Amino acid sequence: MLRIERAVYEAIVAHARRDHPDEACGIVAGPAGSDRPERFVAMRNAERSPTFYQFDSIEQLKVWRVMDDRDEEPVVIYHSHTATEAYPSRTDISLASEPNAHYVLASTRDPEHTEVRSYRIVDGTVTEEPVEIV
């Protein structure tokens, strides 16, 4: 189960809506080993695409260095889907490289309602999990 603070959840949704029609992406860092998403980090989609995202490599290196310095890890890795449901694509699954992370997808296909779902993706296996907003 993903437990996430309302402010962080709303920041993810706001970022997804702001970057629409392109996919938005980022992370939520937390203390290493804690499974607590605490520090929201919106990142640039280097692809600037409505169908694909990729972290900017220079920005990602900086973000990961800050996490190392703060003894943090990416607890949540999020991105948006602009025209499909909030479910990992084959590309999303193949690129999932953080087995302990919660992969959060926010679908902005309906301008009135952003669908947000969370998954664990380990060795190509996708498992949906409940999201509890606290």
Sketch the domain layout of the chain as residue ranges. 2-133
Mean local confidence (pLDDT), 125-130: 98
Confidence check: pLDDT of 111 > 90: no
Read off the tokens for 79.
């991105």
Alpha-helix runs per DSSP H in the chain: 6-19, 57-69, 90-95
CA angle 72, 99, 31 (to 5 degrees): 15
* CB contact at 8 A, 4 and 32: no
What are the pLDDT digits (tens) for 44-84? Answer: 999 999 999 999 999 999 999 999 999 999 999 999 999 99
Mean local confidence (pLDDT), 2-9: 98
Q: Is the dihedral of CA 75, 37, 7, 56 positive or negative?
A: negative
Residues 6+ apart with CB under 8 A from 80: 15, 16, 19, 20, 23, 24, 25, 53, 105, 106, 107, 108
- The predicted pLDDT at position 13 comes to 98
Residues 6+ apart with CB under 8 A from 19: 45, 80
- The predicted pLDDT at position 53 comes to 96
- The predicted pLDDT at position 92 comes to 96
Confidence check: pLDDT of 90 > 90: yes
- Give CA–CA dist 40/131, Å, rounded: 17
Confidence check: pLDDT of 2 > 90: yes
Specify the fold of 2-133. Answer: Cytidine Deaminase; domain 2 (3.40.140)
- The predicted pLDDT at position 114 comes to 97
Q: How many CB atoms lie within 10 A of CB 104?
A: 27
Q: How confident is the model at residue 5 (pLDDT cuts 50, 70, 90)?
A: very high
- The predicted pLDDT at position 23 comes to 98
Question: What share of the chain in percent tops pLDDT 70?
Answer: 100
